[in-house]
Amino acid sequence: MTWLFFKTLKSLNPRITKPVQRSLGVVVVTAVMLAACGGNSSQQTTADSATGAGTAQEGGTLVWARYGDADSLDPHRTTTTLSWQIFDQLYDTLLAFDDQGNVVPNLAQSYEIAPDGQSITFTLNEGITCHDGTPFDATDVKYTAERAIDDANPSVTKGAWGPISQVEVVDPQTVRFQFETPFGAFASFMADPFASMLCDSNEAAGNQFGVSSAIGTGPWKLVSWTKGDEIVLEKNPDYQKFGRPVENPGAPYLDRLVVRQIPEAQTRLAGLQTGEVQLIVNPPLDDLDSVRNDENLELHVAKNTGQNFFFEFTISRPPFNDVRARQAVAHAVDVDAAIQAAFGEGLVEREKCPISRGVFGNDQTFCDQYTYKHDPERAKQLLAEMGYGPDRPMEVILMTSTGDNREKMVQIFQSQLQQVGINAKLETMDIGTLNARVKQENQKTSGISTFDMMDWAWFDPDILHQLWHSPGAYSGYQSPELDALLQKTRTTVNPEQRKEAVNAAMRYLLENAVHVPLYTPGSLWVYATRREVQGYKIGPFNRPVFNDVKLVQ
Amino acid sequence: MTRYLIKRILGGLLTIWITTIAVTLLIHLVPGDPVQIMYAQSQSTTPEQLEQIRRNLGLDRPIYEQYLMYMGRILRGDFGTTIRGNQPVLDLLLVRLPNTLLLAVSSLLVTMLVGVTAGFFAAYKRGTWIDTTLMTGAILGISIPSFWLGLMLIYVFSIRLGWLPVSGTDLKNLILPAITLGLANAASVSRLTRSSMLDVLSQDYMRTARAKGLGENIVLSRHAFRNGMINVVNMLGLQFTYMMGGAIVVENVFAWNGIGRLAIQSIFQRDYPTIQGFILIFATVVVLVSILLDILYVWIDPRITYS
């Protein structure tokens, strides 16, 4: 009720813009007045002419408001999105992802994988300097890698670096990684912010590294970090672009990038409306129309994020230990209709593969062959075979985590399931609780069976190994056959052969209804900017990039 | 007085100690362990590595052992480091504590100013339209959730009028959160002030004061107000505790960088050292405030002595 009141109030009053950007001046004001005169009309009006009113200029500060703070600026200490989106500004990586999600050279101008797949040699670009002015060379790469896998350092990314046996500095521009066994996911990991390259001069900062000091080679330098409040970055004037998917060949155009924390989504939106901040992540999804209809604001939806929402089942007890029960659920739900009802147009897409759009190996055409079509009759038939029917509905629990319209999605699924005779009780909890709960459920052998709508994000098909190679992330479905298929995706280095291995694993997961893909992206993937922000881009895997950003003055 | 204070301080320490035990037990009852949460979403880490990390953090030990280890460190002044990010907990808390205290004190001022004034006039003008209006306002104030009130204030004063910033942690940004938190509590204070004042106004000594020819202002300020305030000050102590708690919600709405917001985040991440540190500091502040208030009573009401 209160919300309704708030919204009604908002719709009653035409939005008044604060005279922050004077150069937008007359055009915007006129546009607003016209919009106001037109009552509640929601046409796109004069957005384009508004941006044309001023010219984009270099310099200035952009304030980016997010829902939380980084945990640390040390890439070996934390893996949250809030943290690595900052790593991505401070540091650079040996390789990079282009717009299509392909791995391309970056700090390394080339790399060579040995025929046996057990070593990879990087040749670094020359003339790269760290934020403190020291040259970036092979010793910095070795320092970073050894720090990340050192048992003495509480590194949280150790596993992702793979079975490294040795890191060797061949010469200042050449560094070689040796592996105990071939490791197919390494090249893509070298393009991820978790593999951010640190400069060895960070060692001098001791415990202050990642707190008040963070020296890298990225486009932005750390000025200060007030924990819980803001991170202030300034442009790195020496930055050179190699492989990042940006146009600007050198230093960012902006002088400063300030990353602020505003936990409440409505407040973030209000800050954007007043011009206090220029970019927000995760505007309230129920209020997106107020962004779309405001000619001062622009909506950005990340694509190819590698996020995957899917059903997974507890198979430690009936009924989901029977593949027919899992297939019945998959046939019973109409995912397209649910997406339409919960998100509307243009926010999320149907995902048919267990690894999502943007990730190597994703292939909608291939996965479509094994996708369960919406077919309530088939679902009922499968249930009838198992002895369920109108007199004996199947009783299960459907769990998911809070946020981003997930609850709406499962409510729609609930009613679709009911139509074929599956009574699903809904339980929504925070993601931490859900992760623990799914694991617990997989260990129980009695009680009402559960399944859940889970989401994972990763930039490489190795995600399937993490999830499903026994014992798996949640100790759920396991089989020797699946293990063998997944092991192959990890140890195959040749791209074509790896793609085949990934296809085989995906086919197995789909045919056995172990991992039933639903949609992508769906988690913290919507951004909104003010119109004066030009050149803002969300790179692959949900990485905001500011190298090209200019402000219209 | 000294003996009383020593007793109170010892009692306070006992309260804090019991709180730490209760919190340790409670946070371990919540499903999900921090290591799993930290790695669940985007990590390729083997179960053996997770176990190793748990061992490093001491999370594989029985709860009582974890508690004893924790208390041992606390007594040496070591609050430990956050599980996520590995940062010193005490630093994180102490940077934010002044912000929360500032917000709570400012809100308390708003509460006193608005609540006591409204209650006083309502009592003085008992039964008139002023009384009715003020008390209806108070019921509204009690019923409105601070979350919603905060957003409405942002809408009016930031978006529509553009007078005040939406969020942040400096003095200009303090106004809206302090009003939000203050108004919600002013409502209950005004009702208490009213009933307390009504009680005082009907006392014989009021008639005596007037009968001996004192001016109405002096009667009200010296005789009525001061006597009526004893209950209210008592309530303000409780109010301050509510403020500290309410700050958690309001800090989130206005992005005020206080310890409440840190606490919420830590609970979601099951960051045990931060949660424990937060509770310890929170409990200490509450205990200190209640002792200070006891001293304040003596000043307000000379009839009270502690011996």
B307 touching chain A per CB within 8 A: no
- In this prediction, residue A16 carries a pLDDT of 33
SS3 state of residue A286: helix
The CA distance from A345 to the nearest CA of chain B, in Å, is 27
d(CA A136, CA A92): 11
Q: Which residues of A touch B37 (CB under 8 A)?
A: 431-432, 435-436
Interface test with A, best of B27, B39, B42, B153 (most A CBs within 10 A): B42
Is pLDDT of B52 > 80? no
Cβ distance B255 to A263 less than 8 Å, yes or no, reads: yes
d(CA A218, CA A213): 14
CA quadruple A436, A442, A448, A453: dihedral sign? positive
- What is chain B written as a DSSP string? -HHHHHHHHHHHHHHHHHHHHHHHHHHHHSS--HHHHHHHTT----HHHHHHHHHHHTTTS-HHHHHHHHHHHHHTT---B-TTT--BHHHHHHHHHHHHHHHHHHHHHHHIIIIIHHHHHHHHTTTSHHHHHHHHHHHHHHHS-HHHHHHHHIIIIIIIS--S-SS-SSHHHHHHHHHHHHHHHHHHHHHHHHHHHHHHHTSHHHHHHHHTT--HHHIIIIIIIHHHHHHHHHHHHHHHHHHHHHHHHHHHHHT---HHHHHHHHHHHT-HHHHHHHHHHHHHHHHHHHHHHHHHHHHH-TT----
- In this prediction, residue A312 carries a pLDDT of 96
Q: Which residues of A touch B148 (CB under 8 A)?
A: 2, 6
A72 touching chain B per CB within 8 A: yes
- In this prediction, residue A377 carries a pLDDT of 95
- In this prediction, residue B306 carries a pLDDT of 66
Cβ distance B166 to A262 less than 8 Å, yes or no, reads: yes
Among candidates B43, B84, B85 on the partner chain, residue whose Cβ is nearest the Cβ of A159: B43
d(CA A14, CA A25): 17
Interface test with B, best of A15, A16, A274, A489 (most B CBs within 10 A): A274
Is pLDDT of B22 > 90? no
- In this prediction, residue B146 carries a pLDDT of 82
Judged by CB atoms within 8 Å, which residues 56-85 of B form the interface with A?
A: 56, 82, 84-85
Cβ distance B167 to A10 less than 8 Å, yes or no, reads: no
Interface test with A, best of B159, B160, B163 (most A CBs within 10 A): B159
In A135-229 the beta strands, taken as DSSP E runs, fall at 164-171, 174-179, 220-226
- In this prediction, residue A124 carries a pLDDT of 96
Spans in chain A with pLDDT lower than 50: 1-52
A36 touching chain B per CB within 8 A: no
B163 touching chain A per CB within 8 A: no
First-to-last C-alpha distance (Å) of chain B: 5
B166 touching chain A per CB within 8 A: yes
Cα of B241 vs its chain's centroid, Å: 4
d(CA A147, CA A153): 7
> Which pair of tokens denotes residue B64?
């009582």
Task: Using CA coordinates, name the residue in chain B closest to A265.
Answer: B253
The CA distance from B166 to the nearest CA of chain A, in Å, is 6
Burial of A398 (0-12, 13-18, 19+ CB in 10 A): buried
Task: Using CA coordinates, name the residue in chain B closest to A469.
Answer: B46
- In this prediction, residue A484 carries a pLDDT of 96
Cβ distance B38 to A261 less than 8 Å, yes or no, reads: no
Q: Which residues of A touch B44 (CB under 8 A)?
A: 159-160, 185, 462, 465-466
Q: Which residues of B touch A430 (CB under 8 A)?
A: 268
Phi and psi at residue B193, to the nearest 5°: -60, -45
Going by pLDDT thresholds of 50, 70 and 90, the confidence category of residue B139 is confident
The region that residue A517 occupies, defined by phi over 0 for left and psi between -120 and 50 for alpha, beta otherwise, is beta
Cβ distance A274 to B165 less than 8 Å, yes or no, reads: yes
The region that residue B288 occupies, defined by phi over 0 for left and psi between -120 and 50 for alpha, beta otherwise, is alpha
Burial of B225 (0-12, 13-18, 19+ CB in 10 A): middle
The CA distance from A298 to the nearest CA of chain B, in Å, is 18
Among candidates A6, A78, A430 on the partner chain, residue whose Cβ is nearest the Cβ of B85: A78
Model ipTM? 0.78
A214's CB contacts (< 8 A; 6+ apart) are: A73, A74, A90, A91, A202, A222
The CA distance from B299 to the nearest CA of chain A, in Å, is 39
pLDDT mean over B246-265: 86
pLDDT mean over B17-36: 79
CA quadruple B10, B12, B18, B21: dihedral sign? negative
Task: Using CA coordinates, name the residue in chain B closest to A13.
Answer: B160
A77 touching chain B per CB within 8 A: yes
d(CA A114, CA B303): 90
d(CA A534, CA A516): 39
Cβ distance B270 to A273 less than 8 Å, yes or no, reads: no
Neighbours of B262 (CB within 10 A): 28
* Poorest-pLDDT segment among A193-207, B46-60, B277-291: B46-60
- In this prediction, residue B45 carries a pLDDT of 59
Q: Which residues of A touch B165 (CB under 8 A)?
A: 274, 276
Cβ distance A9 to B155 less than 8 Å, yes or no, reads: yes
Cβ distance A157 to B43 less than 8 Å, yes or no, reads: yes
Task: Kindly report, residue by residue over B81-100, the tens digit of the pLDDT.
Answer: 887 777 788 888 998 899 99
B157 touching chain A per CB within 8 A: no
Q: Which residues of A touch B158 (CB under 8 A)?
A: 270, 274, 276
- In this prediction, residue A342 carries a pLDDT of 93
Q: Which residues of B touch A16 (CB under 8 A)?
A: 159-160, 162
B275 touching chain A per CB within 8 A: no
Among candidates A65, A70, A159 on the partner chain, residue whose Cβ is nearest the Cβ of B44: A159
Interface test with B, best of A88, A229, A276, A541 (most B CBs within 10 A): A229
pTM for the model stands at 0.81
Among candidates B33, B95, B151 on the partner chain, residue whose Cβ is nearest the Cβ of A6: B151
Cβ distance B41 to A456 less than 8 Å, yes or no, reads: yes
Task: Kindly report, residue by residue over B98-124, the tens digit of the pLDDT.
Answer: 999 999 889 989 988 898 888 888 888
Q: How many residues does chain B have?
A: 307
- In this prediction, residue A197 carries a pLDDT of 97
Task: Using CA coordinates, name the residue in chain A closest to B29.
Answer: A433
Task: Using CA coordinates, name the residue in chain B closest to A439.
Answer: B32
